[in-house]
Amino acid sequence: MIVSGKARKMLALLGMILLWAVAAGAAAGEGLAETILSSMTTEEKIAQLLMPAFYQYTDAGGKKADRTEVTPDMQALLEKYPFGGVVFGIQNNRNSGDAVRFLDQVQVSMNSLGGRCQALTFLDQEGGYVTRLARGTQMPGNMALAAARDLAMTEEAAALIGGEVRRIGYSGVLAPVVDVNNEPANPVINVRSFSDDPEIVSEQAQAFIRGLHSAGSLATLKHFPGHGDTSVDSHYGVPCLDKSYEELKALELRPFQAGIDAGADLVMTAHIQFPRIEKGTYLSPVTGEEVLLPATLSRVFLTDILRGDMGFEGLVITDAMNMDFIRSHFDPLDAARLAIEAGVDLILRPVDTSTRDGLEALDLYVRQVAAMAGEGRLSMEAVNTAVLRVLSFKEKHGLLTAWVSGNVEERAAAAETEVGSAGHHETEFAMAKRAVTMVRNDGVWPVKAGESMVILVPYETEILTGEYTVNRLKEEGLLPRDTQIPVRYLLNLSPREMEEICRETQHIIAVSVVYRLSELNASSPEGVRTACLDRVIALAHACGRDVTVISGHLPYDLARFQAADALVACYGARGMPEDPARVSPVQQYGPNLPAALYLLLSGGEMKGVLPVNIPAMNGTALSDTVLYPRFYSLP
């Protein structure tokens, strides 16, 4: 539903009157943010501390569908409450033009605080593994950027990400990730981190922030105070880190301090327990357990450490409050109270809004949290402090004004042209090539002219990746036109087909994609692809053939395939849903694997280095012995 032109004019007039009144108050000695705060109801204040998502809705048939327009029930909620922000997802960004239109409808419908204030709008667009622009440019990702060891390139990559996000109209991104990935078994951070070294993470984070800011995008450091040394994903469990404050300062907090010093705008919290630092507990009404407060709900972390010791003056935003740890142990209202009193400014995704009941639940949530404040169960001082920070932040960034809904179709057309453009994809491809790292080469590369090859991929979406790369090399004259390099889906091969390939092909390129270290155990259900690669290597060697393994995601699998004749890392193996040579704008795809294949098949120079230490294997697990040290690569 779209607000009519007549209604818009009336709202604009009302906004001008309100702004005049606000200006009069400011002239009397109050700042603009303070004047607005003094006129707000308690419900408006609570709404200003929320950043809900409206990713999907449930249609008449009961199926969830992507939300690309403001429906009447959603508009009623937006008109009622001035939410401080809205986070958008890939569901809202299937098409860049539609994303522009939807964002405009959201801002117009909300008409936040009578035209005095816009909503902050964010996208979880980290680059690499976590991206939300369906037809945008994925970029190589943080670990790949660190492998290239070029801060100017990192800055350029972030500027491109920020530029595409701003072209849609969003305020900024929930990036960069500045967690130090010093736990190889980390199931949720891994290649989203720049490195396992805090100094590398710090310098990369600062370059990333410079790039975002150059594009006009706000930057968010996450996940404070550090999610890299955990082996539990807080989306699905309860991570706990047994470290002292001094230990955190020596490692995890260093990149956050560097990011704060570089002018980061927001810091996102982590739902992680730190029993040696935060002693506060909560008796869970859900499970009956007494649980330690996570950093998200800890005043020690968010006020004493982040604001007091580290000097952060921007906005503190929670990670999504519908993640398992919070949902499984905390009453939602208690979680809101604890978060606000701890020093949180924006509560991310407090309620699932994908149904009509969900929209009503968000309405009830605002009223109930406001009632807590009105009854003294939630500190009104903490509420006012947080709201003033949000409003002052918006004032600083020119958002204490009415949203201007002009030239929507022109902006939509520009977004469809620029976001995910062919030029941007060429930029990300060039960057991905800079990251490719040769770790072993037992006289295999470059191959002799005319030698037969095959590419084996562990996921079907990577078949097109291989075919696209081979065709591109032919088009560029780097492979003869009659070259035949088949690309086969590894799990579809029968034992007989696998044996035939090994017997008839002189060189086999096999891609390994490991997301969790448990996948390295070939005897486990998760290790089926590892088991297939083991068979390929054994059969190929029995036939006197060479095997190159490309580590497509977590580089720790380099230690697992020591029997291979060559090892290459590229730090990202997302496939291609569409052929970039035939579709424009194409759906986002991973540039890392085609970059690795391109350099291998063309004999190109690999300049990347390992951004993390690779431990040696001890049975089916990683040991404490470093096999390939950080910065290692073949000369």
CA proximity to 383, closest of 372, 395, 394, 396 = 372
> CA 409 → CA 5, 99, 412, distances in Å?
15, 11, 5
* Residue 307: CB atoms within 10 Å: 16
Is 208 in a helix, a strand, or coil? Answer: helix
The sign one gets for the Cα dihedral 270, 213, 54, 395 is positive
How many Å is the maximal CA-CA distance in the chain?
87
For 346, which DSSP code? B
Catalytic residue among 66, 150, 233, 235: 235
Compute the distance between CA of residue 445 and CA of residue 448 in angstroms, rounded to an integer.
8
Catalytic residue among 124, 319, 345, 546: 319
How do strand 56-58 and strand 50-51 relate by DSSP bridges?
unpaired
For 273, which DSSP code? B
> Between vectors from CA 568 to CA 563 and to CA 573, what angle results, nearest 5°?
115
Specify whether the CB–CB gap between 94 and 59 falls below 8 A: no
Is residue 271 flagged as an active site residue? Answer: no
Specify whether the CB–CB gap between 348 and 308 falls below 8 A: no
> Between vectors from CA 432 to CA 427 and to CA 438, what angle results, nearest 5°?
150
Compute the distance between CA of residue 474 and CA of residue 469 in angstroms, rounded to an integer.
9
Cα atoms in the 13 Å half-sphere on the side-chain side of 292 = 17
Compute the distance between CA of residue 135 and CA of residue 345 in angstroms, rounded to an integer.
32
Is residue 66 flagged as an active site residue? Answer: no
**How long a stretch of residues is the chain?**
635
Sheet of 546-551, strand order: 437-441, 566-569, 546-551, 507-512, 453-457, 487-489
Is 470 in a helix, a strand, or coil? Answer: helix
> Between vectors from CA 484 to CA 479 and to CA 489, what angle results, nearest 5°?
120
Q: Which residues are catalytic?
A: 235, 319
